Chain A
């Protein structure tokens, strides 16, 4: 019974197939395929002959084959140009400044001379005027003094006379008093006498007063007359003076007008000069600004700060992307005619519109095979429009509006 038992187990192990081994095998198979796919892909990649069939080379109007080199060249060129411009500008500025200074100096000298002349003239005039005024004043003074003196003299005389009279009167009074005293001593008659005397005195006094009044009046009259005379004289003097003054003023006015004319001319001249100067300066400033702007732009494009550089790089990248896109689009659209040798090359110049549409596609270098040339042009036309042009930075767009495409079939890279 042991034998069948053993045989049974043997048969069982042989007959029944488990799932362990198949699982291992299946997983191993998949892993193997995965490994093969991972390993094989990179090695199979280089021999992928897809893009070797069609070869379209894009050459921009400016040779943009080596961006970095070109950027470096442009940078050095820009630096040179900048230096040159700097030197030129400096020289120009120097010359301008010198000219300006000379002109200024000249103008200043002229102005100074004019000013000096004017001043001298003015001074002379003023002096003359002053002299005249002084003379007039002196004359007036003298006349006034004379009049005054006359008046004074008259007054003095009168005063003297009066004084004398007063003195006499005083004396007389004293005498009268004495007499009155005598009369008082004499009493009665004396009184009458005194009264009479007093009356007389009063009369005399009244007379005197009247006389004095008359005298005063006369004096006043005289004074007034003198004053009037003086005034008239002064007036006449003044009139004459005024006339003279007017004449002088007219003369002066004429002179001044002439002077003003001259001044105005000079001023106009100066103004014009100044204006020209200002204009020139403004122009220079504008030029300089423009130059600076251009430089700054150049700098911005080429060197400048980092953001400008990155912008420029982005622009370049976008442009490169655009070139790639155009190249691919043209490659895809290109139907190579049959029986074309590998070495056949045609160059097509493409001009684009602002929105990427093709204005013109002309064969610049024929391959000698008309069908091939036509196929190249058809490829460009069917690949158009290159709307990606609009996505480029506006500064770079212009450079890519025109470019050359080189068409070359075959597997030569």
Chain B
């Protein structure tokens, strides 16, 4: 009883389709966990980087110096990326137009693009996590249904249908559902957590973009006067 009902034994004795389903779920589970770990690391670093950047930004450092210190575009992440995109646009537009509104529009557009890129980067693979979370119970259920179908088919040939003869089949079939849930539950939890984290970070980036925009706006408020003067 111990041996025949252990999970590895059940997996080994399952039928082909059920085994395939289990393999699929196993792969899904591993991939979702990879995504979970990777995203967790990404989020943590993004949070750290954001905190560090905000500290630096609000430390009263000169924006030009900050811009020069920051690495080239494409390499930066998070708020820094938005800052760089906005500030570069600002610097590019400054010599060309005198209209503060046009400059601010350009800066805002460029910052929105950068923010959108950040959003894409942060939410990368989270959709996969969501897919695993929603689909793997169904896949597991499919495996279970298939296994129970097989068990009933073989049961119809058996002489005496007792619980003892049905039990291994059903246990075997139910392993598929168990594996589906095993893959789905962490995926759901971490999807929610990571997407919340990502949206919180994106909110912070948005806030930063707004603040930066207001700083630039404030700077430009003085400048048209000077320009006009």
Instruction: Please give, as numbers and ranges, the residues of chain B lying within 8 Å of A4 by CB-CB distance.
Output: 68-69, 71
Bound CA–CA A325/B160 (angstroms): 10
| Chain A residues in 8 Å Cβ range of B42 | 17
User: Is A338 at the interface (CB under 8 A from chain B)?
Assistant: no
B156 within 8 A of A: no
Q: Is the CB of A391 within 8 A of B160?
A: yes
Complex formed: what's the CA distance from A11 to B162 in Å?
Answer: 66
Count of chain B residues near A, Cβ 8 A: 33
Does A413 count as interface, using CB distance less than 8 angstroms?
no
Known A22-B38, A41-B6; contact A30-B26, beta-carbon cutoff 8 A: yes
CA distance A69 to B49 in the complex (A): 80
State whether A328 touches B164 (Cβ < 8 A).
yes
User: Interface range on chain A: under 10, 10 to 19, 20 to 34, or 35 or more?
Assistant: 20 to 34
B35 touches A38 (CB 8 A): no
Residues of A within 8 A of B29 (CB): 30
A38:B163 contact, CB within 8 angstroms: no
**A37 touches B (CB below 8 Å):** yes
Question: Is A14 an interface position by the 8 A CB rule?
Answer: yes
- Whether A328 touches B30, Cβ cut-off 8 Å, given contacts A21-B41, A26-B37, A42-B6, is no
In chain B between 26 and 63, which residues have their CB closer than 8 angstroms to a CB of chain A?
26, 29-31, 33-38, 41-42, 45, 49
Decide yes or no whether B203 CB sits under 8 A from chain A.
Answer: no
Q: Which chain A positions have C-beta within 8 A of B72? A: 8
A341 an interface residue at 8 Å Cβ cutoff?
no
CB-based contact B2/A42 at 8 Å: yes
Q: Which one of B2, B68, B71 lies within 8 Å of A41 (CB-CB)?
A: B2
The answer to whether B6 touches A19 (Cβ under 8 A) is no
A26 to B38, CA, bound (A): 10
B75 A14 Cβ-Cβ under 8 A? no
User: A332 interface residue, CB < 8 Å from B?
Assistant: yes
Q: Are B159 and A38 in contact (CB under 8 A)?
A: no
Complexed CA–CA distance, A12 and B35 (Å): 20
Query: Which one of B1, B35, B77, B164 contacts A15 once the chains associate, using CB atoms below 8 Å?
Result: B77
Give A30's nearest chain B residue, CB to CB.
B30
B75 touches A391 (CB 8 A): no
Chain A residues in 8 Å Cβ range of B30: 26-27, 30
Q: Which residues of B contact A14 (CB under 8 A)?
A: 45, 49
Main secondary structure of the interface of A (DSSP, over half): helix
Q: Write out the residue numbers on chain B whose beta carbons fall within 8 Å of the beta carbon of A29.
A: 33
Please encode chain B, from 1 to 31, with 1 for each CB lying within 8 Å of some chain A CB and 0 for all others: 1100111100000000000000000100111
Q: Check A41–B7 contact: CB distance below 8 A.
A: yes
Q: In the bound complex, how far is the Cα of B30 from the Cα of A26, in angstroms?
A: 6
Given the known interface contacts A30-B30, A41-B6, the answer about A21 and B37 at a Cβ–Cβ threshold of 8 Å is yes
Contact of B163 with A332 in the complex, beta carbons under 8 Å: yes
B155 to chain A, nearest CB (A): 15
A183 within 8 A of partner (CB) = no
- Closest-by-CB residue of B relative to A23 is B34
Q: How far is the CB of A44 from chain B (nearest CB, A)?
A: 9
Q: B35 is contacted by which of A11, A22, A42 (Cβ under 8 Å)?
A: A22
Contact B7 A328 (CB under 8 A): no
Indicate if the CB atoms of A38 and B6 lie closer than 8 Å: yes
User: Are A7 and B71 closer than 8 Å at their CB atoms?
Assistant: yes
Contacts of A66 in B (CB 8 A): none
Q: Which residue of A lies closest to B8 (CB)?
A: A38
Please tell me if A388 contacts chain B, counting CB pairs below 8 Å.
Answer: yes
CB distance from B30 to the nearest CB of A (A): 5
CB neighbors of B among A367-407 (8 A): 388, 391
Which residues 293-332 of A sit at the B interface, judged by CB distance below 8 A?
Answer: 325, 328, 332
Q: Which residue of A lies closest to B41 (CB)?
A: A17
Q: How far is the CB of B48 from chain A (nearest CB, A)?
A: 9
Do A17 and B75 touch (CB < 8 A)?
no
Q: Are A388 and B71 within 8 A (Cβ)?
A: no
Known pairs A8-B72, A41-B7; A328 contacts B163 (CB<8 A): yes
Is the pair A325, B162 in contact by a Cβ cutoff of 8 Å?
yes
Q: Please give me the residue from chain A that is nearest to B78 by CB atom.
A: A15
Mask for A1-20, Cβ within 8 A of B = 1, else 0? 00010011001101101010
B140 CB, nearest partner CB in chain A, Å: 16
Residue pair A19, B71 in contact (C-beta under 8 Å)? no
CA–CA, A22 and B32, complex, Å:
10
Most buried by B among A7, A25, A26, A38: A26
Choose one: B1, B33, B160; the contact of A45 (CB below 8 Å).
B1
Min CB–CB distance B179 → chain A (angstroms)? 11
Chain A residues with Cβ under 8 A from B71's Cβ? 4, 7-8, 11-12
What are 8 sample pairs from A and B whose C-beta atoms fall under 8 A apart? A11-B71, A12-B71, A22-B35, A22-B37, A22-B41, A30-B26, A38-B7, A325-B162
A25-B37, A34-B8, A328-B163 are known; give 10 further A-B pairs, CB within 8 A. Answer: A11-B71, A11-B76, A12-B71, A14-B49, A17-B41, A26-B31, A30-B30, A30-B33, A37-B7, A38-B6
Contact surface of A with B, Cβ cutoff 8 Å = 4, 7-8, 11-12, 14-15, 17, 19, 21-23, 25-27, 29-30, 33-34, 37-38, 41-42, 45, 325, 328, 332, 388, 391
Minimum-distance CB pairs A-B, first 3: A22-B37, A26-B33, A8-B71
